[in-house]
Amino acid sequence: NAGVMQNPRHLVRRRGQEARLRCSPMKGHSHVYWYRQLPEEGLKFMVYLQKENIIDESGMPKERFSAEFPKEGPSILRIQQVVRGDSAAYFCASSPPSLGSNTEAFFGQGTRLTVV
C-alpha cells in the first residue's frame, strides 16, 4: 500500500507563472488536506477536500489559489501568477472517510516550490 504521493518533489517557477501541485492519497482514503510550511514557520492549514467537494477552505488565500479533488485522479493545488512569497513547502495529507473515528492523517513528502 503506497503512501501519500506528491509530485513533483521540487518545483521552480518564475514570477507570474502557474504552479500545479499533485497529491495522490493513500488507497482507500477519501479525505485530502493541504498544508503550507513557510520557512521557519509551522504548518498552516489551507484546505480540506473530499471527493468532488471542498469542505473547508478557510486557510486558502482569497486570490490565485485553488484546489480540487476530482472523482478520478489526484488532488490538485493550483497557484496562479506565483509570487516570491509563495515559495514554501506544500504538504498533502490523506485520511480514511472519518478522521474523527480514531484514525490518523498520513502525510506525503511535500512539494518544495521555489519562485524565482
Contact residues: other proteins, CB under 8 A: 31, 33, 35, 41-45, 48, 55-56, 58, 91, 93, 95, 98-100, 102, 104-110
Q: Least CB distance from residue 56 to other proteins, whole Å? A: 5
Q: Least CB distance from residue 44 to other proteins, whole Å? A: 8
Tell me whether residue 2 or residue 14 sits nearer to other proteins (CB atom).
Answer: 2
Rg (the chain; Cα; Å): 14
* CB of 19 closer than 8 Å to CB of 34: no
Tell me whether residue 18 or residue 56 sits nearer to other proteins (CB atom).
Answer: 56
Q: Which of 112, 102, 92, 99 is nearest to 22 (CA)?
A: 92
Q: What is the C-alpha to C-alpha distance for residues 92 and 116, in angstroms, rounded to an integer?
A: 23
Q: Least CB distance from residue 49 to other proteins, whole Å? A: 10
Q: Least CB distance from residue 16 to other proteins, whole Å? A: 29
Tell me whether residue 25 or residue 110 sits nearer to other proteins (CB atom).
Answer: 110
Tell me whether residue 45 or residue 68 sits nearer to other proteins (CB atom).
Answer: 45
DSSP structure class, residue 102? T
Q: What is the C-alpha to C-alpha distance for residues 60 and 112, in angstroms, rounded to an integer?
A: 18
